[in-house]
Amino acid sequence: MKDAVIAELLQHAADELRHADLVSNRIIQLGGVPITTPKRWFDHSNCGYDEPADPFVERILEQNIAGEQCAIGVYNALLGESLGKDPVTYNLATQILQDEVEHEEDLQALQEDLKAMLGRRA
Ligand SMILES: [Fe+2]
């Protein structure tokens, strides 16, 4: 299932880059300065970074599902913080949250297929 997982993760990576662009632009609109160095991204990350040290598809899916679930929590929190105060940020968080939920669903579907192939219950 490597090819299917690779195709899905490439699509997600493009979405995540688009999200970074949307969030960066919103930070600038609010008068802030986006963080532009990768080391500082890690320092300020809400979800950290889980190195893909184990290339087995099952582990890659587990790591990425956990990452999507963390992102869903972060954007849900942003919805709560911006509700009634900042409709532009609220709308942005809603758009990104929809993508993250879709990512989680896509990866869970692949995980279920893999479990079925391995003869395990999904
Ligand atoms: Fe995602």
In percent, the amount of the chain with pLDDT more than 90 equals: 85
pLDDT at residue 55 in the model: 87
Mean pLDDT of 69-90: 98
The CA 95 to ligand 1 mean position distance, Å, reads 12
Q: Note whether 64 and 107 are within 8 A (CB).
A: yes
The CA 84 to ligand 1 mean position distance, Å, reads 26
pLDDT at residue 49 in the model: 87
The CA 73 to ligand 1 mean position distance, Å, reads 12
pLDDT at residue 24 in the model: 96
The CA 81 to ligand 1 mean position distance, Å, reads 20
- Report the SS3 class of residue 63: helix
More confident residue, 23 or 51: 23
pLDDT in tens, 14-24: 999 999 999 99
Contacts of 76 (CB under 8 A, 6+ apart): 97
The CA 19 to ligand 1 mean position distance, Å, reads 9
pLDDT in tens, 93-113: 999 999 999 999 999 999 999
Alpha-helical runs (H) found in the chain: 2-29, 38-44, 57-82, 87-117
> Is pLDDT above 90 for 121?
no
The CA 30 to ligand 1 mean position distance, Å, reads 24
Mean pLDDT of 44-50: 90
Contacts of 20 (CB under 8 A, 6+ apart): none
Res. 120 pLDDT band, cuts 50 70 90:
confident
The CA 96 to ligand 1 mean position distance, Å, reads 8
The CA 58 to ligand 1 mean position distance, Å, reads 18
